[in-house]
Amino acid sequence: GQQLNQSPQSMFIQEGEDVSMNCTSSSIFNTWLWYKQDPGEGPVLLIALYKAGELTSNGRLTAQFGTTRKDSFLNISASIPSDVGIYFCAGDAGGTSYGKLTFGQGTILTVHP
């Protein structure tokens, strides 16, 4: 099946630093999504991207839908301790009515105060 490669697998940063992570695929996706999972919780949708080249922000988070439709990027500016968690990219290749998502392996983010 389709696979998404997410990198880096983990990040250890100081509070205030900016964070970048990305996701690549061998096939084209019509939609890219970014989720965050807090410890002991289920994933929560952060940003949804629907168009190649689209750049969308949600507070300190900015995500981009790559122009090749095979990649996406998430940036977090001025990180704070509550940014800790696992970040997942997910993509939908289309062809279903309900949106079948393929998830990346996740990026574990640790923020040191």
Using CB under 8 A as the binding rule, whether residue 48 contacts other proteins is answered as yes
CB 91 within 8 A of CB 25: yes
Task: Report the residue number, 23 or 111, with the smaller CB distance to other proteins.
Answer: 23
- Can residue 71 be called a binding residue for other proteins (CB under 8 A)? no
Q: Which is nearer to other proteins, 4 or 74 (CB)?
A: 4
Whichever of 5 and 57 has its CB closer to other proteins, that residue is 5
Q: Least CB distance from residue 19 to other proteins, whole Å?
A: 19
CA dist., res. 108 & res. 106, Å (int): 6
For the record, the structure tokens of 103 come out as 């998830």
Q: ∠ CA(4), CA(23), CA(71), 5° rounding?
A: 95
Residues 12-31: x where in contact with other proteins by CB under 8 A, - otherwise, as a string: -------------------x
Which part of the chain contacts other proteins (CB under 8 A), choosing from 41-49, 53-61, 65-73, 74-82?
41-49
Tell me if 100 contacts other proteins by CB under 8 A: yes
Q: What is the DSSP string of 9-41?
A: SEEEEETT--EEEEEEESS--SEEEEEEE-TTS
- 106 touches other proteins (CB under 8 A): yes
Pairwise CA distance, residues 108 & 96, whole Å: 30
C-beta of 76 vs 90, nearer to other proteins: 90
Residue given tokens 């105060």 in the structure block: 113
